[in-house]
Amino acid sequence: MRNVFNLSSGIYYLRMSGLIFAGFAPLQIIWRTKARETRQAPLVSRALARRSLENAQIEVICVMFLITRKSEIMKIAVAQINVHIGNFEGNLNIMLEAVASAKSQGADIICFPELAVCGYPSRDFLEFNDFIRQSEETVKKLAAAAQGIAIVVGSPTRNPKIEGKDLFNSAYFLADGAILHVQHKALLPTYDVFDEYRYFEPATEFKVLEYKGKRIALSICEDIWNLGNENPLYTVCPMDEMMPQRPDLILNISASPFSFEHASERIHVIQANVQRYGIPMFYVNHCGAHTELIFDGGSVIMSPNGKVYDEMPYFEECLRVYDFDEVLRGEREVRQSATKMDTIHDALVVGLRDYFHKLGLREAILGLSGGIDSAVTAVLAVRALGASNVRVLLLPSQFSSDHSINDARDLAENLGIQYDIVPLQSIYESYMEMLSPHFLGKPFNVTEENIQARIRGMLLMAFSNKFGSILLNTSNKSEMAVGYGTLYGDMCGGLSVLGDVYKTEIFELAHYINKDGLVIPENTISKPPSAELRPGQKDSDSLPPYDILDPILFQYIEKRQGPEEIIAQGFDAALVRRILRLVNINEFKRHQTAPVLRVSSKAFGVGRRMPIVGKYLS
């Protein structure tokens, strides 16, 4: 069997007739395998620019030195951008500006993220013909701009076959004013926050394209994620299908949402691909937020030797141009350094800012109790929206301590935000007077506590409506998990800022906020948590300490461990069963709350779908 291999660049080493020849490419080698068992072995290691044939079990028939002009250095621009779902004109303008910048820096190709034309996730907008039509028109306008530079961009495309889903999730390669190539996504995630198979048909054809002397494998997000994990979800790896076509590089366009462990997972998966295929990868991700989903950017350029040639900034738009040959050599390694609290803090700020700005909103309001949850929420709101756009209400009752009121006032003054004190005791007493004939003989219980919470909710919503401010919910993940909150009271709000942050993490976040100087009063952080709805109340009256509660919740929610597995870790059996029961029976509350900014691998909301009416563990 004869084989032909073209080597367009680099240094070659060749053994023929017992002698070793060395030189510079280009050359063409025609060979025949000596043994059946070595026929499928790779002739050349693509992991290195230095190519070695010394140990290959082949019989060389002919070596042809090709006379070609010296190939030009290719430059590839990676543009992590913040687009807006369905804002076709705005998204186009962002990309055209990036194209102009990349072109001025000599880039041959610019890469934009997955579905950047329409925004990700577009969800059921994808079911509207008009939405797809506008996506197509935007691609045509981008193609017209692809003069002197090629553009790689994600957009939905129509499936020409009547069988299967109506759409593909596609990567366009635009050049010379036209569509040069389209590669569809093969691996469609349908887990956690992803629901792509609801809309898209998986690809069954995989073709490498050639541009300016380089053979390019286009792939889309999940297409590279079947490697580097213990439980592959798919039976095919798209790059396995492309490798016989001998690509020189991988361009992967992604929409990969943030969780605080995801950046390291992302690099691990990219390394697994680079090590398997021996070619560099240019991976581009979105940044910005779309309701609960936050995208951290962190685009990665990885050399064939597995080194991170560059990791782009987290949570900010960025465009960088890379010399392909330098990436191929892999003589540097650049990674972002960020702690868990760095990324959670920045993610929440971005989530808040984009929720408001993309909805055309400006001002936020929240209740400031003197407790740590509302304090952290207020700080994040100021950092996202500016002090002039944040207003707080102090809503003391007869059960509020003086230090809580003082702590709330001190924080508001530290932040330079407007605060109003609206006592609710007289309103509460009016309720009690009206209800006393009906509650005759019944002792004080959670009913009276919830009335206070709902009065606060009513007052906050009144200010929200009157002044056009959006109410921020301040509940944390621990409280939401076990139902320690009042529907239509402290669970009110248009956006849940801390609903994916456990209480123990809230304390870490407060210390992080104070790392460069006192912002949150120390007493707010050090005092025992309390809802202050009855005399002397503490959270620990109803719940176990948070340093015990949170690890149990983490094992159940994030790790999906059942009661026996959690108990085996050393937790009290009765406590575990009680906590898991509380989580399950309070699902109805979470179905009625605001969208939760997602910062973990399993947040309440679209990524965790549990039945309200279910017997399991309840």
Q: pLDDT tens-digit profile of 360-379?
A: 999 999 999 999 999 999 99
Return the CATH number at 304: 3.60.110.10
Same domain, 376 and 453: yes
Q: Phi and psi for 275 in degrees, rounded to 5?
A: -70, -35
What single DSSP character describes residue 205?
Answer: -
Same domain, 478 and 569: yes
Same domain, 413 and 552: yes
Predicted pLDDT of residue 62: 39
Q: Is the pLDDT of residue 19 over 50?
A: no
Predicted pLDDT of residue 30: 40
CA distance 579 to 581: 5
Q: Phi and psi for 290 in degrees, rounded to 5?
A: -130, 100
- Is 101 within a domain? yes
Q: Which of 64, 94, 112 is the last residue of a domain?
A: 64
Same domain, 328 and 400: no
Catalytic positions are 114, 185, 221
Q: Report the b/e string of 556-590 with b at 16+ CB within 10 A.
A: bbbeebebeebbeeebeeeebeebbebbbebbebb
Q: Which of 13, 44, 64 is the last residue of a domain?
A: 64
Closest CA to 369 of 285, 282, 452: 452
Q: Is the pLDDT of residue 11 over 60?
A: no
Closest CA to 472 of 499, 450, 448: 499
- Is 346 within a domain? no
Same domain, 399 and 539: yes
Q: Which of 14, 38, 64 is the last residue of a domain?
A: 64
- Give the mean pLDDT of the chain: 89
Q: Is the pLDDT of residue 439 over 70?
A: yes
Same domain, 406 and 274: no
Evaluate whether 351 touches 259 at the Cβ level (below 8 Å): no
Which one is predicted more confidently, 159 or 3?
A: 159
CA distance 379 to 357: 18
Q: Which residue type is seen at 531? A: A
Which one is predicted more confidently, 15 or 579?
A: 579
- Diameter of the chain by CA atoms? 108
Evaluate whether 152 touches 251 at the Cβ level (below 8 Å): yes
Across 8-142, where does the E strand assignment appear? 11-16, 19-24, 27-33, 50-52, 58-64, 75-80, 109-111
Q: Is the pLDDT of residue 105 over 80?
A: yes
DSSP characters over 334-364:
------HHHHHHHHHHHHHHHHHHHTT---E
Same domain, 230 and 173: yes
Closest CA to 307 of 326, 323, 321: 326
Question: Using one digit for the tens of pLDDT, what is the confidence trace for 327-364?
Answer: 999 999 999 999 999 999 999 999 999 999 999 999 99
Q: Is the pLDDT of residue 300 over 60?
A: yes
Mean pLDDT, to the nearest integer, of 133-146? 98
Q: Report the b/e string of 409-422 with b at 16+ CB within 10 A.
A: bbbbebbebebeeb
Predicted pLDDT of residue 533: 67
- Is 224 within a domain? yes
Mean pLDDT, to the nearest integer, of 443-456? 93
Same domain, 278 and 384: no
Residue 106: give the domain boundaries.
75-338
- Is 267 within a domain? yes
Cα-Cα-Cα-Cα torsion 245, 248, 254, 257, nearest 10 degrees, comes to 120
Q: ω into residue 121 within 30 of 0, thus cis?
A: yes
The CB density around residue 81, as the number of other CB atoms within 10 Å, is: 22
Q: Is the dihedral of CA 432, 433, 434, 436 positive or negative?
A: positive
Mean pLDDT, to the nearest integer, of 569-578? 97
Closest CA to 495 of 464, 468, 479, 474: 474
- Is 170 within a domain? yes
Q: ω into residue 26 within 30 of 0, thus cis?
A: yes
- Is 217 within a domain? yes
Same domain, 395 and 501: yes
CA distances from 618 to 351, 560, 566, 585, 587 (A): 34, 16, 16, 6, 11
Mean pLDDT, to the nearest integer, of 547-566? 98
The CB density around residue 467, as the number of other CB atoms within 10 Å, is: 10
- Is 87 within a domain? yes
Closest CA to 156 of 118, 123, 109, 121: 118
SS3 181: strand
- Percent pLDDT > 70 in the chain is 88
| Confidence band of 10 (pLDDT split at 50, 70, 90) | very low
Q: Is the pLDDT of residue 59 over 80?
A: no
Same domain, 57 and 79: no
Return the CATH number at 395: 3.40.50.620
Q: Which two tokens stand for residue 65?
A: 């030195």
Closest CA to 214 of 191, 245, 179: 245
Same domain, 289 and 152: yes
- Is 550 within a domain? yes
Residues 6+ apart with CB under 8 A from 341: 508, 509, 512
Closest CA to 531 of 425, 402, 373: 373
Predicted pLDDT of residue 9: 42
**β pairing state of 27-33 and 2-7:** antiparallel
What single DSSP character describes residue 198?
Answer: G
Closest CA to 589 of 447, 459, 492, 444: 492
Half-sphere exposure (CA, 13 Å, Cβ side) for 294? 32
What single DSSP character describes residue 245?
Answer: G
CA distance 288 to 346: 11
Q: Which two tokens stand for residue 554?
A: 């983490």
Q: Which two tokens stand for residue 577?
A: 């069963």
Evaluate whether 152 touches 172 at the Cβ level (below 8 Å): yes
Count of domains forming the chain: 3
Q: Is the pLDDT of residue 536 over 80?
A: no
Same domain, 432 and 559: yes
Q: Which two tokens stand for residue 174?
A: 């635009």
CA distance 430 to 439: 14
CA distance 287 to 298: 8
Residues 6+ apart with CB under 8 A from 11: 22, 23, 24, 25, 49, 50, 51
| Confidence band of 232 (pLDDT split at 50, 70, 90) | confident
Query: Quick one: 155 exposed, middle or buried, by C-beta within 10 A (0-12, 13-18, 19+)?
Result: buried
